[in-house]
A and B are shown apart, each in its own frame.
Chain A
């Protein structure tokens, strides 16, 4: 059974203070690792899909990396509008479903 563990549960940063969120996973045959952003009361917003170890993707202040056991979401010089819950999910084997972690709740203050 696929498992996804995210840490920390919550993170408070000051504007401009860079940091990383961690997603550890256990799957049988990774088909994709997904990062989403979720604002309160909203649906998950797609950020990235990573497929193989060593792959990196960037979008504005966010950069996602992937190893064989974990993924990191690096946030460089965050702004208050980056405050949200960041969700990690995996897809494995022939399954179509995504298995989600519990998320990291990020708060960026002035």
Chain B
């Protein structure tokens, strides 16, 4: 059974550096999402993406964050200038319609 994949599994970066987290959704997915989970806390919504544009974003998703689907398969989350508080697990999710969200295994981002 196909699964959502994410790379890298763990990313360590220095504060102020840019990071790009990558996701490969399942081929029939049309709706895409990014969530994050700070250690010991709830899973929090960041952004949803449909038809090559952002459909919804949270207050967390400020100007430091951006998403794109450059080649029709990969779905990326970029953080331009990382902060210590960006350290978290970042989950990509996708679904064939807007009421199913299948999550990937996550990328652990550590900002030093």
The minimal Cβ–Cβ distance linking B31 to chain A, given in whole angstroms, is 7
Question: B62-110: which have CB < 8 Å to A?
Answer: 89, 91, 98-106, 108
Contact with B along A85-100 (1 / 0, CB 8 A): 0010101000111111
Q: Which of A96, A99, A102, A103 contacts B33 (CB 8 A)?
A: A96
Contact with B along A30-49 (1 / 0, CB 8 A): 01101010000111111001
Contact with B along A55-83 (1 / 0, CB 8 A): 00000000000000000000000000000
14 contacts between A and B (CB under 8 A): A31-B99, A43-B4, A43-B91, A43-B104, A43-B106, A44-B43, A46-B100, A49-B100, A96-B31, A96-B48, A97-B56, A98-B35, A99-B45, A103-B42
Complex contacts, B103 vs chain A, CB 8 Å? 36, 43-46
Asked if A97 meets B48 with Cβ closer than 8 Å, knowing A43-B104, A46-B101, A91-B99, the reply is: yes
Query: When A and B form their complex, which 6 residue pairs have the shortest distance between CB atoms, in order from nearest?
Result: A97-B45, A43-B103, A96-B48, A100-B43, A44-B103, A43-B105
The minimal Cβ–Cβ distance linking B75 to chain A, given in whole angstroms, is 14
B55 at the A/B interface (Cβ < 8 Å)? yes
Q: Which of A32, A44, A49, A97 contacts B58 (CB 8 A)?
A: A97
With most chain A CB atoms within 10 A of its CB, the pick from B42, B44, B50 is B42
Question: How many residues in B have their beta carbons less than 8 Å from beta carbons of A?
Answer: 26
Complex contacts, A95 vs chain B, CB 8 Å? 56
Q: Which of B4, B98, B102 contacts A96 (CB 8 A)?
A: B98
The minimal Cβ–Cβ distance linking B5 to chain A, given in whole angstroms, is 10
Complex contacts, A36 vs chain B, CB 8 Å? 103
Asked if A49 meets B102 with Cβ closer than 8 Å, knowing A43-B91, A97-B45, A98-B45, the reply is: no
Q: How far is the CA of A100 from the CA of B42 in the complex (A)?
A: 6
Query: Which residue of B is nearest A4, CB measured?
Result: B42
With most chain A CB atoms within 10 A of its CB, the pick from B41, B43, B50, B98 is B43
Q: How far is the CA of A89 from the CA of B4 in the complex (A)?
A: 20
A42:B56 contact, CB within 8 angstroms: no
With most chain A CB atoms within 10 A of its CB, the pick from B41, B58, B99, B105 is B99
